[in-house]
């Protein structure tokens, strides 16, 4: 690759970031723009084959970034797994009480509305239900998983253990809120202790990335 080619790639990435950040920042959620662009770039470019999966979708901010990347790279749909009843911190009287949870008991209408507005609803396969229920009967190889559901240690471990067996060699698992929420952070630290299967390959703000080595 020569300097002009590298410059063009950098300019294209900068333009995509600026354009998508302006759109997706309007979707409620806790994902930072650079974290979203990480999902977009890997969704578009990561060079292995398989399904794309998200555990924990809330109102669609991360889903929008992820699906836009997969669409741009012709990588297939994103399977969005969520019960859409909110995490423990979103419930009535909790730290991050959510008004859709208060009024409707669900974030699914807002999720669909946000994806529709961003012209991405057809790029997402919505799987309404708990992660442990959705994994039953799943038989597809997975190239990339984004785990952003219940951030407790126990539930983070359950999500990873349930879905990671389907990840293909060189496939990725991304965790959100590492070094922010103690539960998922503890599990991630245990997962990335020296082993022959998983290795950490990067971190963008609070998104940490592991790759399957075999």
- pLDDT, tens digit, 9 for 90 and up, residues 101-139: 889 989 999 999 999 999 999 999 999 999 999 999 999
Least confident of 92-96, 145-149, 168-172, 202-206: 92-96
**Separation of CA 170 from chain center:** 17
Report pLDDT for 161.
97
Report pLDDT for 89.
86
To the nearest whole percent, how much of the chain has pLDDT over 90? Answer: 90
Q: Is the pLDDT of residue 214 over 90?
A: no
Tell me, letter by letter, the H, E, C secondary structure of the chain: CCHHHHHHHHHHHHHHHHHHHHHHCCCCCCCCHHHHHHHHHHHHHCCCCCEEEEECCCCCHHHHHHHHHHHHCCCCCEEEEECCCCCHHHCCCCCCCCHHHHHHCCCHHHHHHHHHHCCCHHHEEEEECCHHHHCCCCCCCEEEEEECCCCCHHHHHHHHHHHHHHEEEEEEEEECCCCCCHHHHHHHHHHCCCCCCEEEEEEECCEEEEEECC
Report pLDDT for 185.
98
Q: Is the pLDDT of residue 1 over 80?
A: no
Report pLDDT for 87.
84
Query: Where along the chain do its domains lie?
Result: 3-212
Report pLDDT for 114.
98
Grade residue 88 by pLDDT with cuts at 50, 70 and 90: confident
Range 187-192 contact pairs with CB under 8 angstroms and sequence separation of 24 or more: 187/153, 187/156, 187/157, 187/160, 188/156, 191/160
Superfamily per CATH, domain 3-212: Vaccinia Virus protein VP39 (3.40.50.150)
Residues annotated as catalytic (active site), given as ranges: 151
CA distance 140 to 79: 11
Contacts of 13 (CB under 8 A, 6+ apart): 41
Q: pTM here? A: 0.95
By DSSP bridging, strand 167-175 and strand 207-212 are: antiparallel
Cβ neighbours of 164 (radius 10 Å): 18
User: Mean pLDDT over all residues of the chain?
Assistant: 96
Radius of gyration for the alpha carbons in the chain, expressed in angstroms and rounded: 17
| Mean pLDDT value across residues 33-56 | 98
């Amino acid at each position: 690759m020569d300097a002009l080619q590298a410059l063009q790639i950098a300019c294209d990435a900068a333009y995509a970031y600026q354009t998508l950040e302006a759109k997706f920042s309007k979707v409620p959620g806790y994902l930072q723009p650079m974290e979203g662009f990480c999902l977009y770039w890997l969704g578009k470019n990561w060079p292995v084959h398989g399904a794309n999966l998200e555990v924990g979708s809330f109102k669609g901010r991360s889903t929008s970034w992820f699906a836009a990347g997969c669409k741009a790279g012709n990588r297939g749909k994103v399977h969005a797994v969520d019960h859409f009843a909110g995490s423990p911190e979103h419930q009535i009287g909790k730290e991050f009480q959510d008004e859709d949870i208060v009024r409707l008991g669900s974030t699914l209408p807002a999720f669909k509305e946000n994806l529709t507005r961003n012209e991405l609803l057809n790029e997402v396969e919505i799987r309404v239900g708990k992660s442990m229920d959705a994994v039953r009967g799943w038989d597809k190889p997975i190239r990339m998983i984004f785990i952003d559901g219940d951030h407790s240690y126990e539930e983070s471990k359950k999500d990873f253990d349930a879905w990671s067996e389907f990840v293909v060699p060189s496939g990725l698992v991304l965790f959100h809120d590492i070094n922010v929420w103690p539960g998922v952070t503890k599990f991630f630290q245990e997962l990335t202790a020296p082993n022959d299967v998983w290795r950490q390959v990067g971190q963008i703000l609070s998104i940490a990335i592991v790759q399957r080595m075999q």
